[in-house]
Chains A and B, each alone.
Chain A
């Protein structure tokens, strides 16, 4: 007869530890409640990223051009996180980086357009890009190169329904 305990309750702190470790590796998103809790930090940092810099590259590349190339289009939804809020990088540096990235993407033949969004209390969404890309994988690769990812932000990708 088996008298062993086949289950042993682990210490409560282990669950917290594991979740922290997964988040540190970007394997886990923060919960909605947790994201709402960081709204103050979001307002402080994320929405500035697009300000004043994004449409400026239109004359140099496909940045800012109207969409309409006929290929699949995707929207990259940029969410702020505690990491982006606390990056400590100067605003003008961030703006320059995002602008340079958008130019690079445009120069690569992917029409791109972006806007910052007005702050909504409790919402982490700070802006978006619309890009043309041949496939979802290509769109993912473009999103992965965005400075937003490097600063710990989250990007959700959705394909736009052709009309």
Chain B
């Protein structure tokens, strides 16, 4: 996913690595945290305390490793990958994927995007955590399946099948 301002990220990271000072970090924090906090809240069933802990851990790990970041993805995608792991460690239901046997293409519209509403936002908490992560990353955050594969460490095809299942489950819940 491109934030459209990758060049700004490079400048901010370069400045931070040069100075390691608080103001440079605050610039990075304020640029990326609102999106990553929203993302973490959704992955953690809107448990604010856990989401805040996950975001804090994400920044600690990110800053520890930032010098080795090679810009093979956008900074936001890289941070999201770390955030997913931090959320995964706090998942109370375990990190489950929907099994391939569960996926039966019985309705053509299951491949179509959902009309996303707040009701969906609430209902997505019932999805298995891994499946929910794919749904949030794709339908909420706008990542491609290739990017989701990088973030979650799965094949793009797995991302597609999990998204299909998430949409089908959510449609069933909302009917």
Contact = CB atoms under 8 A, between A and B. Distances in A.
Contact of A18 (B21, B56, B116): B56
B2 to A, nearest CB: 14
Contacts of B60: 18, 21-22, 25, 27
Contacts of B21: 28-32
Interface stretch (A9-17, A78-86, A104-112, A142-150): A9-17
A4 B140 contact: yes
Contact of B38 (A1, A7, A27): A7
B50 interface: no
Contact of A3 (B25, B117, B142): B117
Q: How large is the interface on B (under 10, 10 to 19, 20 to 34, 35 or more residues)?
A: 20 to 34
A9 B60 CA distance: 19
B20 interface: yes
A27 B34 CA distance: 22
A119 B20 CA distance: 25
A135 interface: no
- Interface size band for A: 20 to 34
Contacts of B146: none
A60 interface: no
Given A5-B38, A6-B141, A8-B34, A18 B22 contact: no
Contact of A10 (B37, B64, B117, B140): B37
B35 interface: yes
B115 A1 contact: yes
Nearest to A13: B52
Nearest to B38: A8
B22 A28 contact: yes
B121 A4 contact: yes
B116 A15 contact: no
Interface in A10-51: 10-11, 14-15, 17-19, 21-22, 25, 27-32, 34
A29 B38 contact: no
A2 interface: yes
B69 interface: no
A10 B59 CA distance: 14
A18 B64 CA distance: 13
A28 B23 CA distance: 10
B12 to A, nearest CB: 14
Interface in B1-51: 19-23, 25-26, 29-30, 33-35, 37-38, 41, 48
Interface string B62-103: 011000000000000000000000000000000000000000
B139 interface: yes
B64 A27 contact: yes
Contacts of A31: 21-23
Interface of A: 1-11, 14-15, 17-19, 21-22, 25, 27-32, 34
Shortest 7 CB-CB distances between A and B: which pairs? A7-B34, A8-B38, A31-B22, A10-B37, A27-B63, A4-B140, A29-B20
